[in-house]
Every structure is written in structure tokens, then in C-alpha cells.
Amino acid sequence: MCDIEKKTYMKAFKFTFILAILVSFAFISCDNEPLTGTFTDESGVPGTGGSGGTGTGSINTSFFAKVDGVDFLAVNVVAGPHEFLSGRFIVEAFDSAGNKIRFDLEDDMVPGTYAFDGSDFGASYDEVSTDIWASNVIESNLVITSHDFVANKVIGTFEFKSTPAFGSTPIFDITEGTFDVTY
């Protein structure tokens, strides 16, 4: 074999060897590893993979409310920066059906009593089965009982009545709301 044939043979051998290694990785890679993080299913409901969580990284996050007298059992709570307004953060809670309670707060809120009036603090209830987004708050009460500005942890209670964005019915009565979130 001449030198040119040897070089060509070695290049082909190296290429085949590297290709075989890459293909073998595809066959032996772990396809049963648990996923971690926050994912959205086809219904648009965020959920968590792996060992679970709330999307905030806090194991102490809690959220509860009643909607028209029925327990709203949150399966996922997400708190984080507001997507459009700086200096604010959102709290969103989803039940197993995909219904959502959402409200936004200011980063610098001190303990006290406030109202979801739409201009300073907004709130909404989304009901998946009827495709209603109730964002007009007609009555509300928000109490911040604790706000740790270093840990970005806020604790409080809330209640509000809400109607659809473009209508006056139905009226959703959100009561007995409690939250303890890290944003």
C-alpha cells in the first residue's frame, strides 16, 4: 500500500470508528431518567417533573382558596417576576382541572391591607371548562401578613369577587384564600 492509500484508509477507519461510538451512545443512553423542572401539558397547565416542586424552588410554598364555596386544591403554584411590569411579581395557582387563580403584587409591599383594584394589584380567575377569564374584580381584600424582602417570601390572605373581562356574569366568589410563596 502506498502512503496515499494508507492515509485514505486511516481517515475512513477513524470516521467509521467515531460514527460507531456516536451511534452506540444513542442506543445506550438512559431514556428512563426522571425529568425535573416545570413543564406545560397540552391543556396549558404547568406541572412539575421528577420529585415535584412549585416552580419557585421553595418547599414551603402553600396556597389555598375556595371558589364559589368549593375547595380550590392547587396542584402547582408558581411565583415569579411579572412578565410585563418591573417591580411586581405574580402568584399563579393551578388545580388539577387547569383552573387558575392569579394575582400580582408589588415587590416592596409591606404588611397591611390592600385591594385588588386593577390599577395597583390585579387578580383573576380562569375556568377551563367554560373558557371564562374573570379579570374584573368587583370586591376584594388582600392582607399581607409578612414580607421578607431578602428571601423574597410573602405570606398573606385574600378574597375577591370577579366577573369576566367583557361581561357581568358569572360572578366567581374567591374566598378563604391563603398563600405563602417565594418569588
- Strand partners for 62: 180
Q: Check whether residue 27 and residue 97 sit in a common domain.
A: no
Q: Check whether residue 157 and residue 69 sit in a common domain.
A: yes
Closest listed residue to residue 103, CA positions, set 6, 177, 168, 167: 177
Closest listed residue to residue 126, CA positions, set 106, 147, 103, 105: 103
| Residues of the chain scoring pLDDT < 70 | 1-60, 118-120
Positive/negative CA dihedral, 112, 117, 118, 123: positive
Q: What is the pLDDT, as a whole number, of residue 140?
A: 93
Q: Check whether residue 165 and residue 117 sit in a common domain.
A: yes
Q: Check whether residue 13 and residue 87 sit in a common domain.
A: no
Q: Check whether residue 93 and residue 18 sit in a common domain.
A: no
Q: What is the pTM of this model?
A: 0.65
Range of the domain at 102: 37-182
Q: What is the pLDDT, as a whole number, of residue 9?
A: 52
Q: What is the pLDDT, as a whole number, of residue 33?
A: 42
Say how far residue 26 (Cα) sits from the centre of its chain. Answer: 32
